[in-house]
Structure 1
Amino acid sequence: MAAAAAASLAALAGAAWGGLAPGAAALLVLAAAAATVLIHLVFGVPRDSWRHGGTAEMARAAAASALAALAASLATALLWPGPVAPWALAFLVVLLPATALAARGLYRLAILGGVRRDPDARPVLLAGAGDQAELFLRALARGSAVRFRVVGVVTVDRSMVGQRLHGVRVLGTLDEAASVLDRLAGTRDSPTAIALAARSASGLALARLREVAEARGLALLEVPRPADLRPYAPLRRPDDTPSDPQELLDRPERPIDRALIAAVARGKRVLVTGAGGSIGSELVRQIAEAQPARLTLVDNGEYALYAIDMEIGVAHPGLAREAVILDIRDRERIAALFAAVRPELVFHAAALKHVPLVEANPLEGILTNAYGTRNVADAAVAVGAEAVVLISTDKAVNPTSVMGATKRLAEMYCQGLDLRAAGAARPTRFVTVRFGNVLGSTGSVVPLFQAQLARGGPLTVTHPDMMRYFMTTREAVGLVLIAMATVLQGGAAAAAVERGAIFVLDMGKPVRILDLARKMIRLAGLRPEVDVKIVFTGLRPGEKLYEELFHGREELVPLGVPGLLVARPRVVDLAIVARAIDEAAAEARAGREKAALAILSVMVPEFSAPAAAE
């Protein structure tokens, strides 16, 4: 129908322009419509998609229309008894293909004009200007509610600089990526990631691009090749969840001074507890890059320990290391291990961290988080370790959960040891680092939402006003290592850190969990509350609506280190804390929950113990 209508209009225009008699004009219109329909069917033009057709489809429509115009002109010239102006027929040969192409073009423009643009689309710098980049930009232009917005292109071909690719300017070469990012910094188009779409970017060029991205805290993403195939994964689409947790943050990762970390950790004997966990395993990865003399991995989970040990063995085959299955609650074995290994740097990440589970098993929380921390700290002091880093949590501030209260008790013990060591000949420094949630960590909300999305929903949120601080695991661990290095390197920054002080990672603004759920649904290409429902389940035992990073009595001290805040200590006498931990552990081992929680409540007055059986 569309072809016949286009042919009729073109024939009428040609007849009017050529001054044909009414009868000849009618014959030309009928012949053009019939020839166009017939020849388009023979060429298969009606089967071509108007929305997705390319050059081949456009050429087929134009060729079929030109042939139909010739056929209609010839039929009119043969069948009409009078003279026919030849220029009217020639005009039809030009006008009919142009009409067919114009109709398709206008349709495509209407489709593109109706595409809904996501105002929260993530600005990215595209590296590469070949076919792969061109297809990516075309897909973004056609897509609805796409998650990325390309703000510029850098390419391997210098001759393309200054040109436009689908409306996006080519700002420089790959070697000039750093200066391009500097020009865009601070503007609305400041990228949060670099999207790599250059097959020729490899070797040194790719290594430099990675360095540029890491130095500015930007994610390096890869544009998939359109001709690649991968196995079908049932029950979920490949884009159900973001491939990079940083996509969920509204800011780039902070740059980390890897040289400073390496200067402090290189050649040292390092021990990490909880080495198989989310934070512990990332600590192991980043410490291994600093080339320590020996790395000891401690965890009581066999498979998690095996996995990180194998990973480090492949990535750093020359690194001396050992994996030890050990429970930090076993005081004698912890002491024996430290005496044998004599670690110089200790990172204590082992803990029970899942609030509802610890609330349901409070005695385990006391034995692991408080008593286990004392065992590790005492063993480190006994062997003269240079520093111990305690991984703490924002849930230790005004805690409403057993997990938070036990971590606060652990903080108090390490603060007390740090203060006591001030006059020692070889003092062991205790660096307590407190931060909130890490994206994608085991048992956290992001993996939960990912699993729920894979099932098609609904996504469960405990409360519409629930707020949490978030970081990526890599950024959080990098800042933990910077906190340790700041204390050990000396200088003005170290002098500003009092003994017993607590480092707090600057995690930016808190994120509403409901907004996080909606963002994950949109990143999956779906619509919140339409394609995937969100249901509210109510606060779980021990949960708070809002987390805090500082207690009201913890005074902030300027430090001048990006990403790190520090608070003056509020401490209790070390002997009192030590005795309380021992007594609470004894009650826990005896199964006397009420008595153990009562001791915890006395030591952490902000915490109100839940009702418990004797």
Structure 2
Amino acid sequence: GGALPGAVLALGAAGAPLRLPRQYWRFVGLGDLLAVAGAAAIAAALFTVGLHLFGAWRPPNPAFPVIHAAALAALLIAGRVAGLLQAARHSGESSPDAQNVLLVGAAEGTDLFLRALSRDRQAPYRVIGILSLRARQAGRRMQGHAILGTVEDIEAVLDGLRGEGRLPSVIVLASGLSGPALEAVLDAADHHGVPVRRAPAPTTLAPAGGQEARRVELRPVSIEDLLDRPQVPLDREGMARLVQARRVLVTGAGGTIGGELARQVAALGPASLTLLDHGEYVLYEIDLELREKHPEVVRRAVLADVRDEARIRRLFEEIKPELVFHAAALKHVPMVENDPLEGLLTNALGTRIVADAARAVGTTAMVFISTDKAVNPTSVMGASKRLAEMYCQAFDREARHGQGTMRCITVRFGNVLGSTGSVVPLFRRQLERGGPLTVTHPDMRRYFMTVREAVGLVLQASVVGTTDPENMPPELADGGIFVLDMGAPVKIVDLARRMIRLAGLRPDEDVEIRFTGLRPGEKLFEELFHGKEAPRPTEYPGLLVATPRTADAALVGRAIDEIAGAARSGNPRVALQQLGRLVPEFEHAPEGTVATR
């Protein structure tokens, strides 16, 4: 008579340490099922020991404990699976106005999306099929949904669904899809008139701590998704060592690059962070953002012009920054062509003033942000940045040969997606107005990367550039320049077509692309290396080193001062003559050029 109560007590004693009564079974996993099996085995063992101790009942078979454990585990698991099926039947019911969707992507992201849909009581989407990235998964099923093929089969799959009257209302991209594969999906979607959206990030789809996941909300595909740039591993520990407990100053902090530098530096825990910019509103914005996101960081926002030598010197003497990121610049090529003297004063003289002030107060390292337009420049903007590179290289060479203490690290890269004054925001504004999208030339090409990636690599270069000499690439000993690996250049007209398609429109039909001709100082193709700068890889992915072409710091400094004198007196002819003498590869093309070296 005591066998049944004994079995119940044994199960309770076994299940309590494993917290089975508290398990949130709606989110059950393999570990939870193993816990159930373990509890059943422990309960069977306790029950058998109790029978032997008290002699209440003799098991009919020596294998009884094993049979008892298996039956108990089966009953426990069956009860929970029945509950799961009931919950899935109710939670997976799509709302009456749910859209048919075709799910495309890697198995892990697809599985997360399907689980999130099953938990959404008002699921706005009804999955009618899946396209996988792997051929061996085709023909199988995932959570009851058919895997209709791979991404390469998308045209045939959409044709088949259209024939069945089940063409999806939207194509949903799970994680793992970018570059050419994403292009193929967009092409097929464009052909069938089906919009494409991205699934939420996996971190928002997966519930944590037994909590319900948030509502499944799709987002548009961004132009960044099409770059197909692999994630570069970064030395986060080295970056932290570089920044932590140091006084850091960022010039141009209100700009795209300077602002992202400020964000990433603030996250690394500096002793203090000084934000310097001559634009009041942009400086206010980045200061407010950092105050909200990193209230623990000691900050100071300073309105100042890098061309004001007395002001910059006083500021540096007061703050004594240990690490300076110099991102302040005039970067818009046609604007600088219209006002070349302003470009020379800001880009060349401003860099000399900041570098001199930093070295005078014992700054450990200054990092100068350069541009691919400094290579074989055809614009005043590019030539002024090359002149600034030369000064920083000369400073760095002196430091590495014992003639100074401040490292001066130059980092050169191409265009950043979405930066102020760049082509992506321009295209977005033109799309909002219904077009046309203006492109200067059908063959115009540029290098692109995201601002987050660019700044991450700038910080990585800063770590490498400040390491001990024995661990340093040999080219850096003589003022070598870090160059970010930008991948393959992108045709601007292709970028325009992609953005039109991402907006759900058709290029040349819904939105016109208009060619306007090259602008002053513009080149068809930008270059990352001069002909005499042989690129050398480093052990750090994404970073290359340009073999240096150096000059004497005092000589370059005097020449910059002479150019600044001519600029201040309003004499562009003399200023540009001096610039051409210092940067012999400068071939000014005020009407734009289709030639490149």
- Normalised by the size of structure 2, how large is the TM-score? 0.68
The match for 1:587 among 556, 566, 570 is: 566
Cα root mean square deviation, aligned: 3.8
**1:130 match:** 115
**1:601 match:** 580
Deviation digits for residues 154-173 of structure 1 (CA, Å, limit 9, x no counterpart): xxxxxx9964535289xxxx
| 2-structure distance, mates of 1:526, 1:532 | 7
**1:518 match:** 497
Deviation digits for residues 105-141 of structure 1 (CA, Å, limit 9, x no counterpart): xxx9xx99xx9x9xxx887934332363796874786
| 2-structure distance, mates of 1:140, 1:448 | 38
| 1-structure distance, mates of 2:356, 2:520 | 32
Deviation for aligned residue 1:494: 1.9
Deviation for aligned residue 1:204: 7.3
User: Aligned pair 1:316/2:294, yes or no?
Assistant: yes
Deviation digits for residues 167-222 of structure 1 (CA, Å, limit 9, x no counterpart): 289xxxxxxxxxx999x999979x9x97437866355799xx9xxxxxxxxxxxx9
Compared CA separation, residues 129 and 449, structure 1 to 2 (3 A): same
Asked if the contact 1:130–1:198 (Cα under 8 Å) also holds between the matched residues in 2, the reply is no
Deviation for aligned residue 1:266: 0.7
**2:387 match:** 409
Compared CA separation, residues 524 and 592, structure 1 to 2 (3 A): same
Deviation for aligned residue 1:411: 0.1
Q: Secondary structure at the match of 2:472?
A: helix
Q: Secondary structure at the match of 2:233?
A: coil
Asked if the contact 1:264–1:489 (Cα under 8 Å) also holds between the matched residues in 2, the reply is no
Deviation for aligned residue 1:420: 1.6
Q: Secondary structure at the match of 2:239?
A: helix
Q: Which amino acid aligns with 1:561?
A: Y
| 1-structure distance, mates of 2:518, 2:210 | 50
Compared CA separation, residues 197 and 291, structure 1 to 2 (3 A): closer
Q: Secondary structure at the match of 2:526?
A: coil
The match for 2:418 among 440, 458, 461 is: 440
Compared CA separation, residues 137 and 551, structure 1 to 2 (3 A): farther
The match for 1:392 among 356, 363, 370 is: 370
Q: Secondary structure at the match of 2:487?
A: coil
| 1-structure distance, mates of 2:95, 2:536 | 64
Output aligned runs, 1:15-414, within 5 Å: 125-126=109-110, 127-130=112-115, 132=117, 138=126, 151=133, 163-167=143-147, 195-196=200-201, 201-202=206-207, 224-225=216-217, 242=221, 244-414=222-392
Compared CA separation, residues 224 and 529, structure 1 to 2 (3 A): farther
| 1-structure distance, mates of 2:422, 2:178 | 32
Structure 2 gaps, min length 5: 1-93, 135-139, 150-173, 186-197, 592-597
Compared CA separation, residues 122 and 458, structure 1 to 2 (3 A): farther
| 1-structure distance, mates of 2:238, 2:391 | 28
Q: Secondary structure at the match of 1:392?
A: strand
| 1-structure distance, mates of 2:590, 2:357 | 34
Output aligned runs, 1:520-539, within 5 Å: 520-539=499-518
Deviation for aligned residue 1:425: 7.4
Asked if the contact 2:537–2:543 (Cα under 8 Å) also holds between the matched residues in 1, the reply is no
Output aligned runs, 1:550-589, within 5 Å: 550-589=529-568
Asked if the contact 1:493–1:559 (Cα under 8 Å) also holds between the matched residues in 2, the reply is no
Compared CA separation, residues 549 and 565, structure 1 to 2 (3 A): same
| 2-structure distance, mates of 1:332, 1:390 | 21
Q: Secondary structure at the match of 1:560?
A: coil
**2:91 match:** none
Choose 527-536 or 602-611, whichever is displaced more. 602-611
Asked if the contact 1:246–1:252 (Cα under 8 Å) also holds between the matched residues in 2, the reply is no
**1:215 match:** none
| 2-structure distance, mates of 1:514, 1:492 | 46
Compared CA separation, residues 199 and 356, structure 1 to 2 (3 A): closer
Asked if the contact 1:384–1:426 (Cα under 8 Å) also holds between the matched residues in 2, the reply is no
Q: Secondary structure at the match of 1:130?
A: helix
Q: Which amino acid aligns with 1:599?
A: Q
Compared CA separation, residues 490 and 202, structure 1 to 2 (3 A): farther
Q: Secondary structure at the match of 2:478?
A: coil
Compared CA separation, residues 467 and 530, structure 1 to 2 (3 A): same
The match for 1:418 among 396, 408, 414 is: 396
Deviation for aligned residue 1:248: 3.5
Q: Secondary structure at the match of 1:549?
A: coil
| 2-structure distance, mates of 1:161, 1:494 | 53
Choose 413-422 or 533-542, whichever is displaced more. 413-422
| 2-structure distance, mates of 1:389, 1:198 | 34
Compared CA separation, residues 462 and 202, structure 1 to 2 (3 A): same
Asked if the contact 1:128–1:198 (Cα under 8 Å) also holds between the matched residues in 2, the reply is no
Which of 1 and 2 has greater Rg?
1
Asked if the contact 2:473–2:538 (Cα under 8 Å) also holds between the matched residues in 1, the reply is no
| 2-structure distance, mates of 1:400, 1:597 | 12
Compared CA separation, residues 122 and 492, structure 1 to 2 (3 A): farther
Deviation for aligned residue 1:573: 2.2
Alignment identity in percent?
53
Asked if the contact 2:334–2:519 (Cα under 8 Å) also holds between the matched residues in 1, the reply is yes
| 1-structure distance, mates of 2:487, 2:523 | 19
Asked if the contact 2:412–2:484 (Cα under 8 Å) also holds between the matched residues in 1, the reply is yes
| 2-structure distance, mates of 1:513, 1:558 | 28
Asked if the contact 1:268–1:345 (Cα under 8 Å) also holds between the matched residues in 2, the reply is yes
| 2-structure distance, mates of 1:136, 1:512 | 38
| 1-structure distance, mates of 2:447, 2:393 | 24
Asked if the contact 2:337–2:590 (Cα under 8 Å) also holds between the matched residues in 1, the reply is no
Q: Which amino acid aligns with 2:455?
A: V
Structure 1 gaps, min length 5: 1-53, 58-107, 143-148, 153-159, 170-179, 210-221, 227-237
Asked if the contact 1:129–1:197 (Cα under 8 Å) also holds between the matched residues in 2, the reply is no
| 1-structure distance, mates of 2:574, 2:105 | 52
Asked if the contact 2:179–2:227 (Cα under 8 Å) also holds between the matched residues in 1, the reply is no
Deviation for aligned residue 1:507: 0.7
**1:459 match:** 437
Asked if the contact 1:132–1:225 (Cα under 8 Å) also holds between the matched residues in 2, the reply is no
Deviation for aligned residue 1:150: 6.2
